[in-house]
Chains A and B, each alone.
Chain A
Amino acid sequence: MGLPVGWSATVLVAVILINIVLVAILILRPGLTATRAGKILAFLSLFLLPVLAGWAGVSEHVERSKTMAFCLSCHVMEDYGKSLYVDDRSHVPAVHFQNNLLPRDRACFTCHTDYTLYGGLNSKLRGLRHVYVQYLGTVPQQVKLYRPYHNRECLHCHNGARSFEESPTHNQNPEVMASIRSNQLSCLGCHDTVHNVENLGKATFWSAGSKRR
């Protein structure tokens, strides 16, 4: 499953296991709570530690939801993950991924920052619906964005970058930059080769260590 295990996950699992042991002691010997120490044990194991474990667990799962492994864990996303390895310099996501222009383990989230969990209430509800459709519904043949891709997703990195600010195409007309920044002119209007999963069958793929011919 490509599970990312950091120190925080290790600490969390340790807290949960300690909590399990303490609760098991209480279940087997509830009479311990007649003493002061037993009452403190009960408070720790039935209130403090479970709340701490729950809060830390949610935090850990939220962090994992930003990883590429999480996104690609659903079958429907497999081709989108493959598209990041397309050997074609015009493919926007592939160029960013292969040249480490974004963190590879969070490639999806870096460009889709308002998807499901990370969007508003409607996006979160859609995320729940996606899980429902994945297991109980019919996954559509073609996956589409619910609304046009927002330039904010490009500008949070490119804004202020020399290549963007000094591009002759962006500066040919003073209104072009203003239109890009106000999202009236979409970046994808010109940089329009994105995942292109319908043409993956004809594509060649890059693998680390191979050289371009």
Chain B
Amino acid sequence: MTQPRIERQLRVSGVLVLTGLLLEWITLLWSHPTAFLVFLLVGGSLIAAGTVFYLYSLVADTRSAPLPQGNRAP
């Protein structure tokens, strides 16, 4: 079943994005080089990973969906 698979993938990308966003929010509480680096390298990486995984889940879901009857090769 494809629906549960994409839901798992959405959860994973959601967790990655959520963690990245929480980190980014925390780093905005300080004005310090370390805060900037954590924002960029850790928060940015988590959000990028979550976003890319979400986009991949869309593509993977399209590829694994069965073709309609009329489009079968002879």
Contacts and interface: CB of A to CB of B under 8 A. Distances in A.
Q: Would you call the interface of chain B mostly helix, strand, loop, or mixed?
A: helix
A4 B18 contact: no
A61 B21 contact: no
B3 interface: yes
Interface stretch (A47-55, A83-91, A137-145, A179-187): A47-55
A47 B56 CA distance: 12
B24 A46 contact: no
Interface in A125-165: 127-128, 130-131, 134-135
A170 interface: no
- Size class of A's contact patch? 35 or more
Contacts of A128: 37
The 6 closest A-B pairs by CB, nearest first: A30-B7, A46-B54, A27-B14, A30-B10, A61-B36, A73-B32
Interface of A: 1-4, 9, 12-13, 16-17, 19-20, 23-24, 26-27, 30-31, 33-34, 42, 45-47, 50-51, 53-54, 57-58, 60-61, 64-65, 67, 69-70, 73-74, 127-128, 130-131, 134-135
